[in-house]
Structure 1
Amino acid sequence: MIPVNTAIVSGVALSKIDGEMKLLLMKRVKGDFWCHVAGSIENDETAVEAIIREFDEETQIQVTELYNAQFLEQFFEATVNVIELIPVFVVLCSENQEVELNEEHTEYRWCSLSEALELAPFPNQHAVYKHVWSYFVDKPVNSLYRVPYRN
């Protein structure tokens, strides 16, 4: 039997950088690879509360526009024999959004879709970025995806 872990959330930040829409990737210290924001749900947090906290902790981005990406990241983590099932969120940031990384990451880049696909090593990341780009950049954002929350 393979257990399923549903205690992680992830999020993709989008911002117009010098007039062009980009998504945020950060280079993780642990594993030394490029990724988007992600982290564990703590105590009695909801997924929404967890992703807002993770954005604040990892990037200092204060979430003002949060969307359900309508996508579940899923992969098998062989080292712990667990299937990870992770809801993905999208954060629409202000233009030229500033980022201040915590100790979990060494650098960040605002990337076009093709740059993100080149940097990110995992097929599931590619699927997330293509999906987000398709539904949040190439098309007008559907207001039904908006996640209501209180700051």
Structure 2
Amino acid sequence: MSGLPELRAAGLVIFRCIATEIQYLLMQASYADHHWSPPKGHVDPGESDLETALRETEEEAGLSGSDFTLIDSFKKELKYEVRGKPKTVIYWLAELNNGSKEVTLSEEHLEFRWLPLAEACSLAKYPNLVSTLEECEEFIKKYKEK
């Protein structure tokens, strides 16, 4: 990667269990390529990665810390380039406490969907995000067995 300053972002992979199905919250960006991803955003100066993930989830999806349970034993770091600049995105896993809780989109997104793994991976497109969702699925299944 180049000597350019790194872009840093953080977010939450939020899931809910409806009957026996695990569903992931994906949101469609209203800018650029209209990509689908979990809620995430850029780290502000003086803010920790986790503080960013929580703030961005509330801003973008209207979900506050009381709406989900953070599973901080799962943390994934993705590194890639955006317009020639290095970027790191940190994701934590969080389970929605009330599966019927309403998601409230900000102007940064066009729509949201709750999707099972295969459909979520199909929309996510980016290989590193697809593999992250697959890792989340494996982790959740083990986590739920406890």
With the shorter chain as reference, the TM-score category is 0.7 to 0.9
Aligned to 1:83: 86
Task: Name the SS of the counterpart of 2:142 in structure 1.
Answer: coil
CA contact (8 A) 1:39 1:51 kept: yes
Q: Residue 89 of structure 1 aligns to which amino acid in structure 2?
A: W
- For structure 2, the residue ranges without an aligned partner over 5 or more in a row are none
CA contact (8 A) 2:11 2:41 kept: yes
Task: Name the SS of the counterpart of 2:88 in structure 1.
Answer: strand
Aligned to 2:118: 114
TM-score with structure 1 setting the length: 0.82
Q: Deviations over 1:64-99 (max 9, x none)?
A: 42233232112122x2x2221222111111222320
Percent identity, aligned pairs only, is 24
Q: Deviations over 1:33-52 (max 9, x none)?
A: 21111101112111111111
Q: Deviations over 1:70-129 (max 9, x none)?
A: 32112122x2x2221222111111222320100011111100000101111211110111
CA contact (8 A) 2:75 2:93 kept: no
CA contact (8 A) 1:17 1:96 kept: no
Aligned to 1:50: 52
Task: Name the SS of the counterpart of 1:9 in structure 2.
Answer: strand
CA contact (8 A) 1:23 1:111 kept: yes
Q: Residue 125 of structure 1 aligns to which amino acid in structure 2?
A: L
- For structure 1, the residue ranges without an aligned partner over 5 or more in a row are 144-151
Q: Residue 44 of structure 1 aligns to which amino acid in structure 2?
A: G
CA-based RMSD of the aligned residues comes to 2.1
TM-score with structure 2 setting the length: 0.85
CA contact (8 A) 1:75 1:84 kept: yes
Aligned equivalent of 1:130, options 130, 134, 140:
134
Q: How does 1:1-150 map to 2 (within 5 A)?
A: 2=2, 3=4, 5=6, 7-17=8-18, 20-30=21-31, 31-64=33-66, 65-68=69-72, 69-77=74-82, 79=83, 81-94=84-97, 95-136=99-140, 138-140=141-143
> C-alpha separation between the residues in 1 aligned to 2:77 and 2:102?
27
